[in-house]
Amino acid sequence: MMNYKTNILILILIAGSVFESCNKFEDFPDIPAINFENFIVLVNPETGISERGVLVFSYTDGDGDLGLDKGDTLYPYDKNGEYYYNLIIKYYEKQFGTFVEVPILSWNSDSSYYDTLTFNSRFPVLTPETGNQAIKGVFQDTLFIYNPLSQFDTIKFKALIIDRALNKSNEIETGEIIRLQD
């Protein structure tokens, strides 16, 4: 009789712990964290040039306040403000053995001058429909890496994200990326 009661009690405890573990939400800090996963170089088959690449990183955020709506353009997210972009990407070239942050230039035929391009961007709201709660996922961003004005073929990127509470994540860095150029 005691054995039967003990077995029932053990089964109830096991069932309760399984049920409890199924209902637990993951817990992350409210400051977003990102982890570099990969950088995939895309080569144009017609030209043989590395024109684009895909930056892949994972993210976590404890309160799920990642992303901006298109209408988020008032302070502090105004176009000329520090927080207009929520994905910050810096571009570096290896010049004579040292990585140097350099601007990417693009010819503007309207002004007949070169414009400085940015890799920074705004990604949409990732908050679950159930409201702010811990989230995690994988993010991919396609970047143009071909720079016909540069003689250097080795590049890298650094990136971070910013949540709606203006918390900046850690900064990630790609490894060295060798571009195929003409």
CATH of the domain at 151: 2.60.40
Structural domain contains residue 2? no
pTM of the model: 0.81
Residue 16 belongs to a domain: no
Evaluate whether residue 99 is within a structural domain: yes
Nearest to 180 by CA among 147, 157, 149, 156: 147
Residue 8 lies in a domain: no
d(CA 41, CA 56): 11
Position 14 in a domain? no
Q: Which domain holds residue 115?
A: 26-178
- What pLDDT sits at residue 26? 81
2-16, 56-70, 123-137, 164-178: which has the minimum mean pLDDT? 2-16
| Average pLDDT of the chain to the nearest whole number | 87
Look at residue 12 in the predicted model and tell me its pLDDT: 60
Q: Cα separation of 67 and 81, whole Å?
A: 16
Number of domains in the chain: 1
Task: Write the DSSP symbol of residue 149.
Answer: T
- Please state, in angstroms and rounded to a whole number, the distance separating the CA atoms of residues 74 and 53: 32
Q: What is the mean pLDDT of residues 127-136?
A: 83
Measure the CA–CA gap between 119 and 145, rounded to whole angstroms. 10
For residue 19, tell me if it sits in a domain.
no
Contacts of 150 (CB under 8 A, 6+ apart): 93, 102
DSSP SS3 for 170? coil
Amino acid 17: pLDDT: 52
Residue 5 near residue 40, CB atoms below 8 Å: no
Q: Residue 48's CB: how many other CB atoms inside 10 A? A: 10
Query: 16-30, 72-86, 93-107: which has the minimum mean pLDDT?
Result: 16-30
The arithmetic mean of pLDDT across residues 126-153, rounded, is: 89
Q: Classify residue 1: in a domain, yes or no.
A: no
Q: What would the two tokens of residue 82 be?
A: 């520090």
Q: Is 50 domain-assigned?
A: yes
Per the structure block, which two tokens stand in for 132? 């702010």
